[in-house]
Amino acid sequence: MKKKLILILILASFFLSGCENKSVTFSQYRLAEEPEIKKTLGMLSDAILSGDAKGFINCFSSDCPFFHKINQYMSSLKLNDINFNDFSMDIENLTPLGDGIEASVKIKWDATVKDSKKCGSLVRKIYLSRDNDIWKIKDYNFHIYSNPTVVVGRSSLLLSNGEQMANALESQLLLDTQHLQNTGDIILLGTAYDNASILEMEINNLTYIRVTEDYPGRGLGIVQVIPNVEQYRHVIIIQGSTLQDAKDSIGFMTDYLIAEKYMEPGVYIIKDKKIRKAELLELTSLTSFDYNKATETLERAKGIIEYNIKLICDEIALEKDNIISLMKNTSDEHRKDYKETFSYNSCQSSQKPHPISMGLICSYLINKDLCTKAFQLPPKGNADILNSAAMNGEGLNVSSMTALLRLAGLGENQVFSLRKGDGSIVFANIGEGYALDFDSIVFPGVFQHCHLEEAEHMENEGYYIDFKKNLTNMDSEDIMDSINKLHNAFNPEKDILKSKMTRGKFSSDENLHHISLPYNIHDIYVMLQANAPYYQTGNAFNSLKEARESLKEAMGQLLWIKLRKHVISLASKYPGSQYDYSLYSAGLINVKHPEAYAEAARESAPVKKKSSEIGSASKEADDKIRGILSLLSTIKERNKEEDSLLHPDICLETKCGKVIDKALLAYGLYANLFNKAEEAWIAIGDGSSYLVIKDDYGYKYVDCKYNSLSRLPDSTIYLCFNEKYAYNGRLGIGSKPEFLN
């Protein structure tokens, strides 16, 4: 008995010892795979620190979304003169998900950017899985599927199934003739040959397989998860050879996506209500793809799109009519800071009054290119819009990104430009609160727990909170909600935001008006028709993509015109408001005081520098004029029918501009070279734009379209101005200057 008791004690001791060892192991590593994942992240950090482009890209799987952007990241560091002094990635949490692991990683960095020091931290989510026994990154900006758009064929018998899936996923259902989105995540549903969006991908070899009436065959469903198509993260295609197989697959995948919320790229087979990855041999089909059936579906889809373009263009023609008459009602007062509103660099300053900085955001709402770009984003106002926008933010700044998200459907309390101590960032007051950094030196993304030393103010086109002046035009409930979300999105060094509320309420700014934005992309989407009253072949377009691009341009233009009319009306009603300033920030030429543009052109530092270079190389007046013409010839002309001016700084920086932009640049150069600003005019006509100058023999015209000199006046000139005087025949402002009589 005693021996048995001793044996039991020994076994118990051994068992407890084993448990203790397991406990220690668990405390060190949350998952058994953690050491290998740490190794991958360590290799990534070392590659970034050493500038090892090959070592960097080897940490990623080739089917990682946005692989082309990731591949360019290291070269962009060199291009932008970014050098990391320290860079670390520490795992905060690991969660098994599907065939891989979701990692919450805290990134800290210390970098030198063009001789200035930048440091910070943030938490980003990364998805990793095994690739030939090595853990590689399969998604560097990971997030679960968030209400992905569902698309069915226009005449598909799967419409009700698509509606059920969209409702279950709380997403948007669109027809293949309606969807313009090409970013984020999207789900395409179909049988063989009934969804034009799937067919276009199949014809262009963008799918892993082609589904036919015989392949994969009866009783099976096929799911393809495809990364890196256009600007999408994932295109998820759910199909069956028969209608019943497609219906069963859609029902199964609806439940599956609600439960799993993410799938790795690849091909999956659904059979007997179970899903598995397809074997290589299963992806080989001996059946032929019927191009005639595919072409017939595509032609019908293009015909519907062509019909919708006509409807939208008819609406544009109606909306265009009274824009000039609306401009006539704007204020006659010439505010000195109109010039600053237009000035490229001063608008980026954190010191500008809120009507001016908010006017900058508002000006992007009436930018045609941005209105068009908004239709690329998912048509659902949620977090997926943020991820889509973050990965497609090239050429945008924080103000224009804020406007883009407002155009795409985020509410006036949901997205702001946040000015912090070391720059600006987009703050999204949705979900738990997010920071969107599309120009991050640690790769774009949507983050939480970003380092924040100080919040100065946040604003969009309608609302603002000034944390330094304790001033706002928001309601107290909205203020508290925003501040709570700020603390989730950022990681402030101290409770600098909530403490504002405990010391006293924000003062209410009753002088700054706020009017809700009446239009966004959803108001244009609802105008699209599912059918045409007559059959159109869609012969105007070579491809479905080309047809969609034309429809997107038309819808963007309609949204732009509707918003422009709205903003002009508000500018008339509220002089000195952000709406008033936005007209000058946008550079609209049909304003009451274009003199502000001429003054801004003359005072531009880059223009003064170029003038000095021309002046030092040319002593005679004629040589200086030739120097201006030579510089204008380096500006690549943008053939756009827009009635707005680019700031000369942008023209010089990008070497690109419209004819009217070149005329404004020419004025700035001439005014600095000759110090005779009052003797020069910017003149805009239907055929060209000019710098008009006077010499001993009369008036000369610097033709900015042909970069040449002329003595012949242009009878189509309707607008001319300098810093002292303006004439606009269409608005009925001023009288014709001497050179037009």
109-144, pLDDT tens digit by residue?
999 988 888 888 889 999 999 988 899 999 999 999
Domain termination site, one of 246, 274, 289: 289
Predicted confidence at residue 181, as pLDDT, reads 94
Query: Is 65 a member of any domain?
Result: yes
Q: What are the strands, taking DSSP E only, across 448-563?
A: 450-452, 455-459, 464-466, 471-472, 490-492, 507-508
Q: Helix or strand or coil: residue 736? A: coil
As a whole number, the mean pLDDT across the chain is: 88
Beta bridge partners of 738: none
Mean pLDDT, residues 426-445? 86
Pair 635, 714 in one domain: yes
Q: What confidence category does residue 493 fall into, taking pLDDT thresholds of 50, 70 and 90?
A: low
Q: Among 491, 524, 557, which residue terminates a domain?
A: 524
Q: What dihedral do alpha carbons 606, 609, 615, 621 form, nearest 10°?
A: 20
Please tell me the distance from the alpha carbon of residue 657 to that of residue 242, in angstroms, as a whole number: 54
- Examine the domain organization and report whether 20 and 39 are in the same domain: no
Q: Is residue 249 part of a domain?
A: yes
| 462 within 8 A of 516, measured Cβ to Cβ | yes
pLDDT of 509 reads 85
Report pLDDT for 309. Answer: 96
Distance CA 587, CA 343 (A): 10
**Coil, strand or helix: which one is 686?**
coil
SS3 413: coil
Q: Tell me, what CATH number does 623's domain have?
A: 3.10.620.30
Please say which residue of 524, 539, 560 terminates a domain.
524
CA–CA dist 174, 159 (Å, integer): 10
Res 535: pLDDT: 60
pLDDT beyond 60 at 617: yes
- Average of pLDDT values for 623-651? 90
Do 581 and 359 touch, CB atoms closer than 8 A? Answer: yes
Query: What confidence tens digit (pLDDT) does each residue in 506-517 have?
Result: 788 888 888 889
The beta-carbon contacts of 289-294 under 8 Å, at least 24 apart in sequence, are 289/202, 289/210, 289/212, 290/192, 290/193, 290/212, 291/203, 293/192, 293/193, 294/193, 294/199, 294/202, 294/203
Pick the more confident residue, 51 or 741: 51
- Helix 659-674 and helix 621-632, axial crossing angle in degrees, nearest 10: 150
- CATH code: domain of residue 129: 3.10.450.50
Residue 354 falls within a domain, yes or no? yes
Decide if pLDDT at 500 tops 70. Answer: no
- 3-state DSSP assignment of residue 702: strand
449 with 337, same domain? yes
Does one domain contain both 469 and 329? Answer: yes
Full residue range of the structural domain in which residue 5 is found = 1-30
Task: Return phi, psi of residue 29, to 5°.
Answer: -130, 120
Listed in sequence order, the DSSP H helices in 291-407 are: 291-320, 323-328, 338-342, 354-365, 368-373, 383-390, 398-407
Q: Are residues 606 and 736 in the same domain?
A: yes
Q: Are residues 86 and 23 in the same domain?
A: no
Indicate if 469 and 339 belong to the same structural domain: yes
**Which of 567-571, 633-637, 696-700 bottoms out in mean pLDDT, i.e. has the lowest?**
696-700
Q: Please indicate, yes or no, whether residues 154 and 41 belong to a single structural domain of this protein.
A: no
Res 229: pLDDT: 95
> CA-based angle 643:645:649, to the nearest 5?
165
pLDDT confidence tier of residue 681, bands split at 50, 70 and 90: very high
Assign residue 157 the CATH number of its domain: 3.30.379.10
Share of the chain above pLDDT 90, in %: 67
Check: CB of residue 82 under 8 Å from CB of residue 111: yes
Question: Could you give the residue ranges of the DSSP H alpha helices within 191-290?
Answer: 196-203, 243-260
Q: How many beta carbons lie within 10 A of that of residue 76, not counting itself?
A: 12
Same domain? For 91 and 154 the reply is no
- Quick check: is 714 in a domain? yes
Q: What is the pLDDT of residues 341-391, one digit of tens each?
A: 998 654 455 567 889 999 999 999 999 999 999 999 998 767 779 989 988
pLDDT at 19: 39
| Three-class DSSP category at 24 | helix
Structurally, how many domains does the chain consist of?
Answer: 5
Ranking 93-102, 336-345, 364-373, 558-567 by mean pLDDT, the lowest is: 336-345
Structure tokens at 83: 């050098």
Do 668 and 600 lie in a common domain?
A: yes
Please give the structure tokens belonging to residue 718.
């309707």
**Same-domain status, 614 and 664:** yes
Q: pLDDT confidence of 284, banded at 50, 70, 90?
A: confident
Q: Where are the beta strands (DSSP E) in 132-208?
A: 134-139, 149-152, 173-175, 183-190
Given pLDDT bands bounded at 50, 70 and 90, which one contains residue 495? low
Same domain, yes or no: 260 and 342: no
